């Protein structure tokens, strides 16, 4: 069993990691939205692109919710990532993107450990 101090440290490590991941997503989203690469494409986003963006937004919301409710947020983030991977299996080839579901799984594990400790 983990003691309360270890759980608290692990919780803050996960919060910092998820905060960095959320900030990275926002940084990329703002950069691509407001400062598109030249020459800017005038084509609208495809339905698949919109669904992928929405599913990744769900991942971000889940990681944010996990700060308060680890289990609920972790599950939401995993569902969003699974939906995104269903839409585009190439997501699984980009190893840095796997940090998002890994963080969600760690939040779920933290919930389980902290629940067992009570």
What is the pLDDT at residue 44? 77
Arithmetic mean of pLDDT over the chain: 90
Residue-wise pLDDT for 82-112, tens only, equals 999 999 999 889 888 999 999 999 999 999 9
Please report, for the chain, the start and end positions of each structural domain, with discontinuous segments joined by +.
Answer: 4-33+46-117
* Average pLDDT of the residues in 51-55: 93
- Evaluate whether 84 touches 56 at the Cβ level (below 8 Å): yes
pLDDT confidence bin for 17, thresholds 50/70/90: very high
Using CA atoms, how far apart are residues 104 and 98, in angstroms rounded to an integer?
A: 10
d(CA 80, CA 103): 13
Please state the pTM of the whole predicted model: 0.89
Other CB atoms within 10 Å distance of the CB of residue 105: 13
Predicted local confidence at residue 39, as pLDDT: 66
């Amino acid at each position: 069993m983990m003691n309360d101090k270890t759980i608290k440290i692990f919780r803050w490590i996960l919060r910092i990691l998820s905060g960095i991941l959320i900030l990275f997503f926002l940084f990329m989203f703002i950069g691509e939205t407001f400062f598109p690469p030249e020459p800017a494409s005038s084509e609208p986003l495809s339905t698949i692109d919109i669904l992928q963006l929405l599913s990744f937004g769900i991942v971000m919301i889940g990681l944010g919710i996990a700060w308060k409710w680890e289990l609920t947020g972790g599950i939401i983030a995993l569902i969003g990532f699974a939906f995104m991977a269903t839409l585009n299996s190439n997501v699984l080839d980009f190893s840095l993107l796997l940090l998002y579901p890994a963080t969600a799984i760690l939040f779920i594990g933290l919930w389980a450990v902290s629940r067992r400790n009570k």
